[in-house]
Amino acid sequence: MAVEMDELQTLRHSASHILAQAVKRLFPEAKLTIGPPIDTGFYYDFDIEKPFSREDLDNLEKEMKKIVKENLKIERFELPRDEALELMKDEPYKCELINDLPEGEAISFYKQGEFTDLCAGPHVRYTSKVKAFKLLSATGAYWRGDEHNKMLTRVYGTAFKTKDELEAHLTQLEEAKKRDHNKLGRDLELFTTVDYIGQGLPIMLPKGARIIQLLQRWVEDEEQKRGWQLTKTPFMAKSDLYKISGHWDHYKDGMFVLGDEEKDDEVFALRPMTCPFQYQAFLNRGRSYRDLPMRLNETSTLFRNEASGEMHGLIRVRQFTISEGHLICTPEQLEDEFRGCLELTTYMLKTLGLYEDVSYRFSQWDPNDRDKYIGTQEQWDEAQSAMKTILDDLGLEYKIGIGEAAFYGPKLDIQIKNVHGKEDTLITIQIDQMLAEKFGMEYVDRDGKKKNPYIIHRTSIGCYERTLALLIEKYAGAFPVWLAPVQVKFLPIADRHLDYVYDVKKQLEAAGIIRNEVDDRSEKLGFKLREAQLEKVPYMIVVGDKDVEAGTVSVRSRRKGDMGSMPVKDFIKLICDEVEAKTL
């Protein structure tokens, strides 16, 4: 049965088949796998001996244009399983897909000229309908996304209804490249990576480390204002802890395990999350309903054994720091406390300028895949019903993600896309009624009975590294003044102005504007200005003879340009007001 697609998706799906036909013409030894449309275009994965070069992509694009001009009719037909396998006998990946289809399901193909592909469709009727397309890149991708399978070559492309739409999209892609945090973050000396340290283990350089420090201090101070209590817990624990929480059974493959269970008396693992550690603060003594809600927060360093193919700059790493928190409450407090967690994240997102860029996903369990989860059907129904009621009462617009829940409970995922359109989770708020029971967490209620509390797992700003990556891309490296690693750059015109510059520097630092630098190199002013602009410094202070005589500074703003000469105290007030207001 053909799947439903809109007109643009159908066009892009057909473009992927035209690409596959071109590959089989120029590289007949290539083996076909899958080629779906995606939000930004399409891709097709091939098993080939040598990955495609840019020159190969250009040649494939030329061949695609020939196929379009040939105006081949695209026709659908079906075959029984044995005939389908015979037709695809030289395409092992297609045979695997055919064998995976349920008995009785239609096995459909699409034919265009000499090329036939296993496909559910739909497609345009003639290849001539696909006119505005471009092959963008070739990368590696595991068959079926499993790192244990063979690495294939994935060709990404895009297609639009008109050439004008294509050109506009390509222009947007060029802009995205300029904003890509993986390049820009290195150019601005915010972070680096080193092969012999390892993938997913970035080194924060002084400027990047400063931004993360500013974010952490801001988050911790804001959380304290809202009644959160800070904890500090170990980076590792014995396997015993993770066995109680269920991580050992449900998450062990994603953990860094230290030791061998068969050989060692004690096996440790680096923590992939903080929850089982923070619960010990609740368990430290007996609790009653008067102790609740208990809000525990921690700036947590976590470790997750991500697949090497998943690593990307600061977006997905193996060691990261997160604004993690666990809120322990009674059932009656659940909705108000969940709302408070969401209000905190909303405040953070708005202050950072990311609020308009996010979407919401209500991540639920998959009852058809019970092995992934702990708990009973009744517990999941109760937790998901409670979360649905809360989200609907808040009037939040969300999508539902079946199978995206944590193994212990449903969650609200706050999603965001990077400049290339790849979506990741930035912040989560989860409802959990299962781990409290596993850890024996109880409180004495008003009726004198012992009860298990609800737990809300949450982050307020998410992973700091990922947040920094998104901020680099959002602002193209030109951070708001309150976050800029260097807020002010002094540009003395001559050496005779240095004494005055350093006196003004001390005045700024006394007012709290400590992130400033003096460019005292014997270079022309124009060169120094260009350098400061490339570094995306918010304010440049040019100092010459007139400034020294008048006790002023000549101010150039990254946003406003030349702001003229002003008294030092006026400039200090200007920048302090901007920092205090966290102006974007």
Condensed to tens digits (0 to 9), the pLDDT of residues 188-244 reads 999 999 999 999 999 999 999 999 999 999 999 999 999 999 999 999 999 999 999
CATH architecture, domain 191-475 = 2-Layer Sandwich (3.30)
Rounded mean pLDDT, 120-130:
95
pLDDT of residue 525: 94
Domain ranges of the chain: 7-162, 191-475, 488-581
Per DSSP, helices labelled H in 158-205 are 163-179, 181-187
pLDDT of residue 310: 76
pLDDT of residue 2: 45
Look up residue 536 and give its DSSP letter.
T
Per DSSP, helices labelled H in 46-104 are 54-69, 81-87, 92-100
Q: What is the pTM of this model?
A: 0.84
pLDDT of residue 364: 96
> Does pLDDT of 344 surpass 50?
yes
Distance CA 161, CA 128 (A): 12
Condensed to tens digits (0 to 9), the pLDDT of residues 385-435 reads 999 999 999 899 999 999 999 998 999 999 999 988 889 999 999 999 899
Closest CA to 159 of 181, 142, 136: 136
Condensed to tens digits (0 to 9), the pLDDT of residues 497-548 reads 999 999 999 999 999 999 999 999 999 999 999 999 999 999 999 999 999 9
Amino acid occupying residue 230: L
Condensed to tens digits (0 to 9), the pLDDT of residues 465-494 reads 999 999 999 999 999 999 999 999 999 999
Condensed to tens digits (0 to 9), the pLDDT of residues 72-121 reads 999 999 999 999 999 999 999 999 999 999 888 889 999 999 999 999 98
The number of beta carbons lying within 10 Å of the beta carbon of residue 44 is 24
Angle subtended by helix axes 377-393 and 334-352, to nearest 10: 60
Rounded mean pLDDT, 156-162:
96
3-state secondary structure string across 136-147: EEEEEEEHHHCC
Lowest-confidence segment of 53-62, 308-317, 430-439, 486-495 by average pLDDT: 308-317
When the pLDDT of each residue in the chain is averaged and rounded to a whole number, the result is 94
Q: pLDDT band for position 1 (50/70/90)? A: very low
pLDDT of residue 104: 81
State which H helix or E strand residue 26 sits in.
helix 7-26
* Contact status, residue 452 vs residue 436, Cβ threshold 8 Å: yes
Closest CA to 438 of 209, 223, 276, 249: 276
pLDDT of residue 308: 75
Q: pLDDT band for position 55 (50/70/90)? A: very high
State which H helix or E strand residue 321 sits in.
strand 319-329
Fold of the 7-162 domain: Threonyl-tRNA Synthetase; Chain A, domain 2 (3.30.980)
CATH architecture, domain 488-581 = 3-Layer(aba) Sandwich (3.40)
pLDDT of residue 492: 96
pLDDT of residue 5: 65
- CA 214-215-217 angle, to 5 degrees, is 65
Distance CA 409, CA 374 (A): 8
